[in-house]
Amino acid sequence: MKKITKATYLKWYEDMLFWRKFEDKLAQVYIQQKVRGFLHLYNGQEAILAGALHVMDLSKDKMITAYRNHVQPIGMGVDPRKVMAELYGKKTGTSMGMGGSMHIFSKEHRFYGGHGIVGGQIPLGAGLAFADKYFKRDAVTLTFLGDGAARQGSLHETFTMAVKWNLPVVFCVENNGYAMGTSVARTSKSLDIWKLGLGYDMPCGPVDAMDPEKVAEALDEAIVRARKGEGPTFLELKTYRYRGHSMSDAQQYRTKEEVAEYQKIDPITTVKDIIKKNKYATDKEIKEIDKRVKDLVAECEKFAEESDFPEIQTMYDVVYEQKDYPFLPHKL
């Protein structure tokens, strides 16, 4: 695995803080009704993305996830201003404002969405891996799903094929404790979701996903295995989300004390503490990072605010063209 150094920690701090603040801004502008529809935030789960990016080969590996998907494409290299603009529904967005919150996508950066159907991305992730194996591209696909999605039948159908065909894919359950308002304990007798892998003879296990180092180590092992042609791995990344399922969640299924308990092991605070303890940066340097983050969030907001909405006509241009249906020619 690429060594974890002072530079790694500083990058983790800056990236994670930016993702957190970017989404805090989204929550704010959502209340102002500048961003509409659903909005599912990743607050609390950032160590997963930080750890994953440390071990992925961003020149070829792919990622696919569900609808909690604003910061992953940014991590993979998509311009954050375009992500913010997409959420605003502006034409400068990643999908010209046609996708919105749940559908961020960038083929160029190998980020394949952004899926609103719970568990819908599980077979798609295996499909991406199948294509890479078929065309001998030496790439690995990280397929993220929630604890709720782990209860979908598509997981079992996909596991059967992925294991049989040794597909280069890592299935990562982000177990944040809840599927909307339903806790894992209310869904299943077994609280260890990773054990689902045992029934498929798939390497599997739990990971402390509040710590980017632990995530990086577990994912590195899985990615190396996939690249060697030894097939998929199933990891249960134990994490927590601080905000509600979406912005319209009264959160009556949990207590404020429970959220506060997890905030004590917040990945950003932990990484910052390690930076301070090891003197990787002075207080002044940390303040400079905080300022850079704040400025970049402001720049994203300004870009989105000042961009135009797409022309109405674009709506007709982004649908499939049907050759025998002459009225709506596809223009893009």
Min CB(69)–ligand TPP separation in Å? 10
Residues 6+ positions from 103 with CB-CB distance below 8 Å: 67, 69, 95, 113, 114, 115, 116
Residue 177 CB, shortest distance to ligand TPP, in Å, is: 8
Cα distance between residue 233 and residue 222, in whole Å: 6
Q: Retrieve residue 35's tokens.
A: 């961003």
Sign of CA dihedral 257, 48, 231, 163: positive
**Least distance CB 175 / Mg ion (angstroms):** 7
Q: For ligand TPP, give the closer residue by CB, 234 or 303.
A: 234
Query: Residue 102 or residue 128: which is nearer to ligand TPP going by CB?
Result: 102
What the block records as the tokens of 165 is: 């065909």
- Report the residue number, 180 or 260, with the smaller CB distance to ligand TPP: 180
Residue nearest to Mg ion (CB): 146
Residues that bind ligand TPP (CB under 6 A): 66, 68, 116-118, 146-149, 176, 178-180, 245
Which of Mg ion, ligand TPP, none is residue 180 near (CB under 5 to 8 Å by kind)? ligand TPP
Burial of 332 (0-12, 13-18, 19+ CB in 10 A): exposed
Is 78 or 209 the residue whose CB approaches Mg ion more closely? 209
Looking at the chain, the number of H-run helices and the number of E-run strands are: 12, 7
Query: Measured from the CB of residue 43, what is the shortest distance to ligand TPP in angstroms?
Result: 12
Q: How many CB atoms lie within 10 A of CB 282?
A: 11
Residue 68 binding result from Mg ion, ligand TPP, none, given CB thresholds of 5 to 8 Å by partner type: ligand TPP
260, interface contact from ligand TPP, Mg ion, none, CB < 5-8 Å by kind: none
Residue whose C-beta lies closest to ligand TPP: 146
To ligand TPP, the closest distance from the beta carbon of 121 in angstroms equals 10
Residue 160 CA neighbour count, 13 Å, CB half: 4
d(CA 64, CA 12): 21
Q: Are 207 and 220 in contact (CB under 8 A)?
A: no
Residue whose C-alpha is closest to residue 22's, from 69, 56, 63: 69
The DSSP symbol for 66 reads -
Contact partners, residue 95, CB within 8 Å, separation at least 6 = 86, 103, 104, 105
Phi and psi for 178 in degrees, rounded to 5?
-140, 145
Of 203 and 244, nearer to ligand TPP (C-beta) is 244
Q: Which does 116 bind (CB under 5 to 8 A by kind): Mg ion, ligand TPP, none?
A: ligand TPP
Q: Which residues bind Mg ion (CB under 5 A)?
A: 146-147, 176, 179
Output the smallest distance, CB 118 to ligand TPP, in A.
4
Q: How far is the CB of 72 from ligand TPP (least distance, A)?
A: 12
Nearer to Mg ion, 21 or 68 (CB): 68
CB nearer to Mg ion: give 179 or 215: 179
What residue 245 binds from ligand TPP, Mg ion, none (CB within 5 to 8 A, per partner kind)? ligand TPP
